[in-house]
Amino acid sequence: MAAVASFLDRAAAGSALAEVLASHERLARCAPPLVLAIPRGGVPVAMPIARQLNGTLDVLLAHKLRAPHQAELAVGAVDEFGGIFLADHALSLGATGTYLSHESARQRALIQQRRETYTPGRGAPDVRGRPVVVVDDGIATGATMIAALRAMRRLGATPLIACAPVGARDAVARLTPLADAVICLETPEPFYAVSVAYSDFVQTDDATVVALLAMAAGHA
C-alpha cells in the first residue's frame, strides 16, 4: 500500500509547524525570533512560521557534501560561515581528503553565489544572543541541519530551535544535542524520502526564494 502524504505542500507543512511553535515554552519567553530557512525548500515552510511568530524571515546557507558518484547522498555538509561537518561513513564511500577539499570548495562557492542572489548587498544576519528557529522541509540524513545548527551555536544563537515537518527518526535524534529543542511533526518508519510526506513537492527555485524573502520583508 502506498504511503499517504501528511502535508498538501510546503506552505501547509509550515502552517502546521507554526501552530506547534506558537505555544512552545522556549519561544514564549523570548523576543520574536529570527526564522532562518535552509534553501531552497525550507523557505516556503518557514514563511508561515515567521508570520505566526512575528519573526524575521531570512536564509541560513548550508550545502551537503555529495558522495563520490552518488550526488544525492550526503557525506557531510558545509555552512556559509566556514564550518564543516563530516559523517562517519564519509571515508567508506570514497570521500578522501582530496575529494572533500574539492567538494567543499565547490559547495562554498555555490553558497556565496546564493547569498548574493537571495540577499544582495548584505550577508547573513547577526544571531548572537537572539532566538533562532532553523527550518528545513525535511530531514533525511540530517547533514545540512547539523551543519546549520553547529554554525548557530558557534555564533551564539539562544535559544536555538530546529524544526522540520518530516524526518528520518535516527537523523532527527542526532540533532537533539545540537539545539535547545527539535520539533519534527512526522518520523515515519520506515522512512523512504522527504517527498513522500507531501502531495505537492515541486522543486522550489531561486526565483521563488527571492520572491518569498521580498514578501516577508514587505510585511516586516
Measured CA to CA, the distance from residue 114 to residue 21 in angstroms comes to 28
- pLDDT of residue 192 exceeding 70, the answer is yes
Q: How confident is the model at residue 159 (pLDDT cuts 50, 70, 90)?
A: very high
* Per-residue pLDDT tens digits for 130-158: 999 999 999 999 999 999 999 999 999 99
The pLDDT, as a whole number, for residue 220 is 54
What percent of the chain clears pLDDT 90, i.e. is strictly above it?
85
Residue 204 CB coordination number (10 Å): 19
Residue 10 CB coordination number (10 Å): 25
Q: Which of 33, 11, 37 is nearest to 24 (CA)?
A: 33
Q: How confident is the model at residue 1 (pLDDT cuts 50, 70, 90)?
A: very low
* Per-residue pLDDT tens digits for 96-125: 999 999 999 999 999 999 999 999 998 999
The pLDDT, as a whole number, for residue 26 is 86
* Per-residue pLDDT tens digits for 79-91: 999 999 998 888 8
Measured CA to CA, the distance from residue 191 to residue 197 in angstroms comes to 10
- pLDDT of residue 2 exceeding 70, the answer is no
The pLDDT, as a whole number, for residue 69 is 87
Mean pLDDT score across all residues of the chain: 94
What's the mean pLDDT in 47-51?
97
Residue 175 CB coordination number (10 Å): 22
- The model carries a pTM of 0.94
The pLDDT, as a whole number, for residue 5 is 85
